[in-house]
Amino acid sequence: MATTVPREADWDQAPGLLDGASTLTLTTDDCGLAYWLSAVAQGTLAGRAETGHAPGAPTPEYMCRPGPLRDSLLIELGCRSVAEEQATRVLSYYVTHAPGIPELEFYATQLIDEARHSLVFRNHLVELGVPRERLAAAVEEVSADFTAAVIDPIIDFTLATVRDEGDFFGGVAIFAIIIEGVLAPAAELSERKWSRLDPAAGEIARGTSIDEIRHLTVASSIVRDRLAVDPEFRPRLLDILRRGRLLWDTVPDRAFVMHREELFQAGLAEHADLLADYEIWPGRRLLDTTPAERYETAERWTDEMARARMAYMGLDPAIIIGHQAGAR
């Protein structure tokens, strides 16, 4: 009997990340373990489980040659692979502190999602020509400074809440609103940047974005429902969000992102023919954008998505809007 894949998990029909995360409503009851095994493992990931892309999605030969375009993608995937690895480790505490079976099952599936993201990012580095035997060293080389300056402080903040204080709902808010709420627009930008230059990388970004829709919407429902049954949680939640926003304001993510975007920019001119008619968003050709414009657009997307999700949870978007864009 054929499995019917829900639209939000269907590779061809799922909305874009920004639209889906801003408009869909999904709960732990909707997205339990059985849902994941059918809709995700047998739906979204069909034919893409190991690499994150279909066998026919190419990695062009020019992406394997030394140069700024390749360097930009190596840095992006190396940093994202470490971020996803750390997220996987942190999520083990969400499973431990889950208040019920629906929450436990959902965060068990998100833990697997994040581990898979880290896997496919690493595997694409190999497809770009990084020898597998030195993959760990290559990831360390491109991500060490970023990890220490950006990832580690965010992870420490999250662990202090969910592991040390045992605050599951506070941890959900941090992960969904502060961490993934900031990272999601960057994932959308990645998909748009690479879809024509490196179709395999574009598909990898597409698959991770489909997962992030689920992570963001379910977590938002958890926070919303918690506030409905426990209004006394609101002051605690607002304090967490304010501190999380201030933390993002202190991490020097922009320098890392702009370095990567400048490398990307340096490689664009070499592929002007391929990109001549390609619009990264309606009315704007990728070739005509600048590093600062792409960064600022992702910031704007972050704020737009935050307004929608915060309103859904009954919270004032001004609590977090105005932060720096997060680790891209």
Q: What confidence tens digit (pLDDT) does each residue in 244-280 have? A: 989 988 999 899 999 999 999 999 989 999 999 999 9
Q: Which of 169, 177, 186 is nearest to 307 (CA)?
A: 177
Helix, strand, coil % over all residues of the chain, rounded to 5: 75, 0, 25
Q: What percent of the chain has pLDDT over 70?
A: 97
pLDDT at 323 over 60: no
Q: Which of 2, 40, 37, 3 is nearest to 213 (CA)?
A: 40
Residue 205: the pLDDT is 95
Residue 2: the pLDDT is 55
pLDDT at 325 over 70: no
- In tens, the pLDDT along 59-109 reads 999 999 999 999 999 999 999 999 999 999 999 999 999 999 999 999 999
- In tens, the pLDDT along 99-145 reads 999 999 999 999 999 999 999 999 999 999 999 999 999 999 999 99
Residue 3: the pLDDT is 64
Helices (H), the chain: 17-23, 33-35, 68-97, 101-127, 135-146, 152-159, 168-173, 180-194, 199-229, 233-250, 253-268, 272-275, 291-312
Residue 183: the pLDDT is 75
Query: Is 161 among the domain residues?
Result: yes
Query: Is 6 among the domain residues?
Result: no
Distance CA 110, CA 212 (A): 9
Query: Is 185 among the domain residues?
Result: yes
Distance CA 323, CA 301 (A): 12
Distance CA 277, CA 285 (A): 7
Query: Is 4 among the domain residues?
Result: no
Distance CA 81, CA 71 (A): 15
Residue 1: the pLDDT is 44
The CATH code of the domain that includes 226 is: 1.10.620.20
pLDDT at 328 over 60: no
Query: Is 143 among the domain residues?
Result: yes
Query: Is 100 among the domain residues?
Result: yes
Domain count across the chain: 1
pLDDT at 285 over 80: yes
Query: Is 326 among the domain residues?
Result: no
> What are 281's strand-pairing partners?
284
Sole residue written with tokens 């030969």: 61
Query: Is 39 among the domain residues?
Result: no
Domain that holds residue 170: 19-33+45-269+276-319
Tokens of 42: 């047998």
The overall pTM is greater than 0.85: yes
pLDDT at 327 over 50: no
